[in-house]
Amino acid sequence: MKRSSTAKNGSKLKQDKKIVLALYRKMVLIREFEMKAKEIFHSGKMPGFIHIYVGEEAVAAGVCAQLHQDDYVASTHRGHGHALAKGVAPRDAMAELMGVVTGCSGGRGGTMHLYDPEVGFLGSNGVVPPGILIAAGAGLSAQLRGTSQVAVAFFGDGGSNNGAFHEGLNLAAAWDLPVVFVCENNFYATEMPFSETTKNTNVASRAKAYGIPGIQVDGNDVMAVYEKAGEAIQRAREGGGPTLIECVTYRWFGHHAGDPGVSYRTKEEVAEWKERDPIGKLRNDSIAARLATETDFQRIDEEIKDVIEESADFALASPLEADSTALDHVFYSPAE
Ligand SMILES: Cc1ncc(C[n+]2csc(CCOP(=O)(O)OP(=O)(O)O)c2C)c(N)n1
Ligand SMILES: [Mg+2]
């Protein structure tokens, strides 16, 4: 008896370790990707501007680890983390940020038009927050086709005050669509505190108005996000309808890479949230629980460093599309 329960425990621990390391790898991939993108942006080589996801990695990593490749994700303007977590290749994403021909959208979209249908990534978005409606549509499509696919919409606290929030949640609830709505509440929409534009700042509590479950999760605790997202995704997959998950988190840097992010936030507030680093938390918790070792994490850090260097080299060495193709994909051509 004792021996079999020990064996069972052992396999559970092995499974837990596998999950911990997979989540860690994804979070570090997102963190390093963003830091490299920021560096290239500030060097002046990257066109446009980018919104950095550092500090919020646990949300994308925890949710997407529960999804299948053919499930859908509709994302935001702060979408690099969602893209990487859903399986967009880092080099394809970095190249897209650079606007070069090897990017996942052929370099024609950039940071806010990352797109890769092969892995169910339905796009980052310049508009706030159409991902809610795109995911509702993808969920309706899955339901009509009779598949067990699930769609996830990511959006911010600011996005939750846009009309699309009501339309998307109401429709998904009315038709029991397989959609999970994930609000990344980082307390600010650009420089505007959520509390100054919103009477009820508990986004999860709004689910009640739509007759669906709503839960609030510590968005810097990747294991908690993973667990709660897993329950909601399974429910959606089994025909139980949508869920609203509010992940409370924080962006470390400004709204976009050119915003120092200090005029509307105190240094103390930023420092306090940096202390609650989602990557550090997983690392410390797992070591304390003897689920993984410092060496396990160091190995991943090294591995990701190489992946990111390679992605940046690839993106920086890739050419722009030829001028003569500027009108390609713009007008419908029956010959295509
Ligand atoms: C419909 C629309 N309104 C306004 C904007 C300008 N805008 C871009 S990002 C943003 C703030 C979004 O805040 P939030 O949804 O909380 O996401 P976060 O940036 O905090 O991740 C705004 C107002 C926009 N892109 N689209
Ligand atoms: Mg916000």
Q: Return the pLDDT at 285.
A: 95
Cβ partners under 8 Å of residue 66, min gap 6: 226, 229, 230, 233
Report DSSP state, residue 122. -
Q: 159 CB less than 6 Å from ligand 1?
A: yes
Among protein residues, the one with the nearest Cα to ligand 1's atom 25 is 127
Q: Return the pLDDT at 3.
A: 46
Q: Return the pLDDT at 166.
A: 98
d(CA 119, CA 282): 26
Q: Return the pLDDT at 7.
A: 67
Q: Is the alpha carbon torsion for 85, 86, 88, 94 positive or negative?
A: negative
Q: Return the pLDDT at 13.
A: 73
Alpha carbon of 56 to ligand 2 centroid (Å): 11
| For the chain, domain boundaries | 30-318
Report the phi/psi class of residue 216: left, alpha or beta, with left for phi > 0 and alpha for psi in -120 to 50: beta
Contact 36, 311 (CB under 8 A): yes
Partners of 134 in the β-ladder: none
> For strand 179-185 and strand 151-156, is the pairing parallel, antiparallel, or unpaired?
parallel
Q: Return the pLDDT at 6.
A: 63
Report DSSP state, residue 165. H
Per-residue pLDDT tens over the stretch 255-286: 999 999 999 999 999 999 999 999 999 999 99
Partners of 133 in the β-ladder: none
- Kindly report the pTM of this predicted structure: 0.96
Task: Write b or e for each residue in 83-94: b if 16 or more Cβ atoms lie within 10 A of its Cβ, otherwise e.
Answer: bbbbbbbbbbbb
Q: Is the alpha carbon torsion for 53, 54, 56, 58 positive or negative?
A: positive
CB atoms under 10 Å from CB of 42, counted, come to 11
Q: 194 CB less than 6 Å from ligand 1?
A: no
Among protein residues, the one with the nearest Cα to ligand 1's atom 13 is 189
Q: 50 CB less than 6 Å from ligand 1?
A: no
Listed as ranges, residues in the chain with pLDDT below 50 are: 1-3
Q: Return the pLDDT at 336.
A: 56
Q: Return the pLDDT at 330.
A: 86
CATH of 30-318, one of 3.40.50.300, 1.20.200.10, 3.30.413.10, 3.40.50.970: 3.40.50.970
Q: Return the pLDDT at 2.
A: 46
Q: Is 14 helix (H, G, I), strand (E, B) or coil?
A: helix
Q: Return the pLDDT at 184.
A: 98
Q: 156 CB less than 6 Å from ligand 1?
A: yes
CB atoms under 10 Å from CB of 328, counted, come to 13
Q: 71 CB less than 6 Å from ligand 1?
A: no
State the closest ligand 1 atom to the C-alpha of 128, by its place in the atom list counted from 1: 26
Alpha carbon of 129 to ligand 2 centroid (Å): 11
